[in-house]
Structure 1
Amino acid sequence: MKRFLTRSPRFQGIRFRMGMAMAIALLPILVLGAVQAQDEFRRQSIDRQADLQQAAGRAAMTAKARLDTATVLLEALAPEGNGPACAERLSSLVDRVEGFQALYRVGTGGASVCGGAVEGAAADVDFRDEVWFQRLRRGETITVGQATRAVSFTPALIVGVRWERPRGVFAGAMAAVLPLQDLQPDLADRSLPAGAQAALTDEAGQVLVATDARAFDLRRGETLLGWVERARQGESATFDAWDATGEHRDYAGAALAGRDVYVVVSAPSPGLLSWARLNPIGVLLLPLAAWLTAFAAVMLVSERIVIRWLDYLERIASLYARGRYSVRPVQAANAPSEIRVLASTLDSLADAISTRDGSLNESLAEKDALMREIHHRVKNNLQIISSLLSMQQRALKDEPAKVALGDTRQRISALALIYRTLYQSDDIRHADARDFINELVGQLVAAESGRGPLVTSAIDADSLVVDPDKLAPLALWLVEAVSNAQKHAFAGRGGALQVRFRVHGDTSVLEVEDDGPGPQEEPGKAGVGRTLMGAFAKQLRGEAELIPAPGGGTIARMVFATPEAVRPTDPQDLERSDAVVRPGTLTRTRR
């Protein structure tokens, strides 16, 4: 359960999941808004290209009017082109008529017969190799071409008109040179988008003149030739491309004069955020506001209707986990019906647990009383047996028999002491070995105190709360060790008795030291006491031995496996610096 509670409640709670569900449910609104914005964006792009196309058409019509004016003038001058004052007349027209750089009368061979030009332009030019002149010779009535450097020092167009004699015989041509700067489209048109540029191109897609040449210098080696070819075939005259500066632009164009000169108008393409210039409130902001409002409403409603009641029930459940079943979720009476059902279930659960706990506590109290009564009766029975043995001992005349009965009586008294310790303790299932050793040794020394010299005792024991089954062999071993010291070390002289009980992790040591003459038994021969001590040590999975004490005397030592234990009953033992904790909540302390 704790593993699941460690997850972040922010992303695992009901409120977040309900909010995400509502957000997903309302997502089509945002998608619809995005689709509408994209459709509006596409329509804007189409309208933009249409505006450019219309602007290009208007620019072409304006420039074409200039060309038509030049054509009418040339047709009017053609019959008078052979007069003696041809050059003077043409020069006078160039000076008086605005927009003409030069006028020429061209013979059948392509050389100029006469001409008039502004200052800096050539008056005598040979046009025999010019494409426009070759087309006139082949039969075309009017042609337009790009003027060479020999004709004009600035970019210009040549308009040629075929001159024929009767019966259609080619008699030469009249030509006019028009500066391209005068034919360039006007960017003052209000229908043009911001950043629009214009240019004139020839039939090969080469820019003749432009307001900003960078706008018509396309990236990746592209040219305007493809657009010119589509315009010739009557296809759409609009397209988009990237210019040399990296800006994406829309292009539109129209033919200016037949298939010789074309007008191209360019403007920056609308960006991805062009929807801001359309209708941002209706297209995107309203759907987004509806989505955010619904999401916030779900979060708020879930907090007021669900989350706060779940938090309240969680606090009630945490009180139940600590055993406070008297608290009832009375505030849930104002909650939604589902929450009230859950609160009623918790209330019923608390009642059931309280009833069960009361029954269990009564049973445990009854069981505890019975166990204490049993321990008390066992202790009384053992004392009765000990009293009977004492009476029998006094009736005997045989000294060895009296000693044997005395030893038996001591062992029975030790067992009786175990049961007395259990029914007098707070926990009848365990006993503290330290308290038991103190009382048992005191009882053994006190029993012999009136029969001979004084024997003093000193006890140093660690606390170890163990099961009575393990305490019995330990008590019987201690009875044998103390009795052995009383018989052999203190008989007729008294002395000092030291009892030490140490817990060293998995191993415990119980020692009984006297200040007598030392071990008296012959090697290889063990008495009944030694045999019993070894048997009791084996019951504790240990070993017993008698060794000389360093300062004289004998040490009876038993090293055994530390029994399973619970925490000691003495709180002071938990504060000892040398406390040892074993797995399974076992605690060992020194005192």
Structure 2
Amino acid sequence: MKQRLAIFDISDRLATRLAILMTLALAPLGAISIYSEYQSLRAQARSNDAMLIRRTIDAVAGQRGLLESAMLSAHRLTPLVLEQLDDSAACSDFLREFVSAADLFAFAGFVPRDGTMTCASQGEPVDFSNSERMQSSMANARSFFSFQPNGAITGRPVVVASRPVFVDGALLGYMSISVSQHTFALIAAELDQQSGLRATYLVNPAGETLTSADIPDAAERLPGRSELLSILAQRNGVFREVSEDGERRMFTLAELIPGQLYALGSWSTDQWPSGAVINFWRLSFPVLMWFASLAVVMFAVDYMVVRHLKRLNSQLRRFALGNRAEFQRLPERAPSELREIDSTFSKMALLIRRDEREREEALTEKTILLKEIHHRVKNNLQLIGSILNLQMRRLQDREARSILKGVQSRVRSLATIHRTLYEQDRISERYAASFFDSILQETLSIASTDSTDMQITKQFDAVDLPHHKIIPASLLFAEALTNALKYAMAPAGAQGTQLDIRLTSIDRVAELTVWNSVSDTCSEQMDNGLGQELMTAFALQIHGDIEIGPAQRDGVPGWQVRLRIAEQTPSQPAAVA
């Protein structure tokens, strides 16, 4: 009987129980340590991959800029070439002067749909109607880059940037600009042997190598045809494949222009090995912690200490849950060390209660001051708008009045935003719909267009945008609305002008659309204006996707501005207004 009691005494000792609990408590720590080491290895691998991809992009920066410049030049030349298509000689002279002035391009020409190129910067008319590439391009109209080892006109290796030309939705042909390999070689970067980058290429989606950024004629460092197409299908990433010369290499892929241009880097696996070193010290840390904890428990824990600590813990728990009652002090028979802790906790509670009251008062004061700031900014902007209005009345020049009226509209849009911020009950709650609706009403009230004959359709859904994005988005909306009211016209056969405004949310992506009806000849006047430049700048500021151009609604011709921006995710912290 006494032996049985002794066994129970041993198992009932606090030190033994704490040792068992400590062992169980530290078991997750071991698992966390192993998992943390695994995540660290993955993070290191991702960091290495990101660094290699960044170096690959940097290596082709010059060649990429040259090809983007060629594609952009093809876009800007299109309307000028279309005006001169009827006169082949004048059109060729114009392209010849452009190529000579640019001093970057080897050739420029327009290939019509029938394949006979008569407008070219050099050479005689050429028939491309039997070219498989041209037939495929006409069947699937899109912008693309291609490599020609022997250019049909120049007779030199060139990279061709081709852009489809549409008139009234119908494919008219392709505007093409060529860049010679000699020009690429002039801007090629020297190979850095320490970087491990042996060759960098620009390739198109079909797997054609356009140019090499650092080592010419290095095709043997590319993967096989099927492997290359499989890599390009991934669009971005780091891959390990066997190159054409039989060496197992590491390839980095970065999509530079979606669906058109990729940067492909070929790396030596000897200089960039895979894997990372495992830190065994971090893995053994839980075991060492377990031994240290057991030693502390066996020599330092005492029942009387734990009992008083439980009482302190109970009072602290109530305090943490919001009970701000005074602490009950430990009895005099408690150890002096614990009574000192109890006294410290009591003083800490008093300080916390005092700090909470001060912070609540400070928060209330800051909220009032912030609202006052928005109110005063709104008043100042309205004052500026009134000054501009007085100045407009004194001007006789209609163009100057129109410019000042545009500035006044933008100032009033800013005033509307600050007024909405001031009128909200809680500054942290932001609803984009109220901003856009207020801007719509304000713009309609000062618009020069007679809105009584205009059919206005609007839809504002509840979306939640981050604070740093809502003001640029509102300014973009004001610009789009001003342009829509300025150029809105009744199409042929319609009774009046139409204006359609929508703010929707799909899969946590907010989509803002402004559409207005136009006549058949009005769409060109709305392109390349100051408003479009401002809208593009606002969209870039908030990392939004903007589309500006003609669009039809139920067969009615019109002009549309569409902006897509990501909403604030639930886990994203709200910015301070």
Q: Quick check: TM above 0.5?
A: no
The structure that has the greater radius of gyration is 1
TM-score (norm 1): 0.41
Using the size of structure 2 for normalisation, the TM-score is 0.42
